[in-house]
Chains A and B, each alone.
Chain A
Amino acid sequence: MKRADWIPVGLTAAIAIAALAFMGNPSTWLTLSIAGLAMGLLIFLMASGLTLVFGLMDVMNFAHGVFIAVGAYVGASVMKYLAAPAAADSLLENLGALLCAALAAALAAALLGWFFERVIIRPVYGQHLKQILITTGGLIVAEQLIVVLWGPDLVPMQRPTTLRGAFLVGDMAIEKFRLVAVAVGLVVFVAMMLLLNRTKIGLLIRAGVENKEMVEAMGYRIRRLFVAVFVAGSALAGLGGALWGLYQESLTVHIGAQMMVLIFIVIIIGGLGSVGGCFVGALLVGLVTNYVGYLAPKVALGTNILLMVLILLWRPQGLYPVSKS
């Protein structure tokens, strides 16, 4: 067992503390940190499936954003349908509506992911060029179909009543919905880590990432495993999409494609194929975006690219390189 590498985690913490020093105002810092954590964890939800799929099967799905968009749109429709419980002034009913929307979003994205794997990706295993082209084609078609089904206009997505607004603790404002996002993200991360590190399936997935042929030689059908991971990754992307839609409170067709850029940056920073790296990378991106957006809004645009460049100069394979044999 390799010893865990804590340097990237320490780096994230160091950046957070350095930001506090620059700001000198703990309440602003806390607000920004929670916003950054919420954003980072949502990005992690959307990105984790993609990086795992790449690690396991060497497949890069440029249409991953479609799952995000579908999740967000399905979530918005369910929220609209459940307008009564969502508008009720009771936390329980609100959370129920949110849960329904999230589950529906994950389910829809999972189904789409299953279809995608069978029809679009299966014929082009091992051919990177074709994968990029085919999945980009899939992205075009799926985005257009979303327009056909939901119309080209901006879709508003309202947060449930009790999750709107912010808690005021002293002079700190903590948006309630961000706490929900942080909670969901942490639960998913912990569940995923337990699944990967404590179960047989997780063992097989980790083994498959390191050496596919060996796992096959032991008599396991890695293809089935891959389909399962692909579908689960799509479902998480759909869930993340629904929450992201609520986070922004409105949707356009390009929500997924826009997120893809951030997601790519995150999984490159984390090391292609590494779930832990994806987690740290997502937090890093979320925090840095929020801090820089406050401290120096003019350079905020370039921060993610700059962050990626710096990290790749430091560790060219990403924070947690995946050893491949």
Chain B
Amino acid sequence: MARVSRHAALGTATALLLSSFSLPAFGERLVASLSRHQVMITSSFTGTEIVLFGTVERDAQTITRGSGYDIVVTVFGPRQTLVTRRKGRILGVWANVDSREFVDPPSYLAVLATKRLDAIASPDMLRRQQAGLDYVSLPQRMGTTNIELAPDDPFRMAFIRLKKEQGLYREEPTGVTFLTPTLFRAGIPLPATAPIGSYEVDVKLFADAAVIARTNSAFEIIKVGFEQFVAEAARDYGFFYGLATAMMALLTGWLASVVFRRD
């Protein structure tokens, strides 16, 4: 990092750009691949797992790292706007009294690492790298502006806790394992409730409490076949879909009266 800032001091953006691009040439290169790039939701879908394999490429000039390597894999699901509501007591009953809008948080967020994040890097570094549920950016709408609140903001904490309970947010300090000193594997668990859309996978290589290489990949979850047909029909042709459902109800009712007729 010191190298980058010295070049930046030279003053030109080009120099900064060039130096960050040239950085990997001195150190490690990260290569990663997913077991598949498409998850298809069929009627029997009950969740699945995508496996990420990666390797840390070194060359003759690569120096030996004192702390060894650590990997942090972050998977971001499609963005959604969500409201967190808090119940309070009004006139003796529990009703929603307060709410906060979270602007475009990932619908799914998994942070997988080789060990506990606070043992990998400093909180400052983790925040800069958006690594970990405590450090990921989850802006909330306040009037017309979006602001980032501290990790102990009650709404933020409740939001993350509820998402964890749904299995959609998770932090696994042992989610990535090194099979050899340079080859690693991570399982990305996808619950059945994981929303459809595209998922970004961000892989960062940490050494000596700093990021020395990164790479990314992506996969998507799509509905196929019958599930896709029904979901699209309901969304695009709501009225006819409703008519068809109502007709189905009448047919079922009529069939029952024929099958069970006793008079």
Co-assembled chains A and B: no
Q: Which residues of A contact B (CB under 8 A)?
A: none
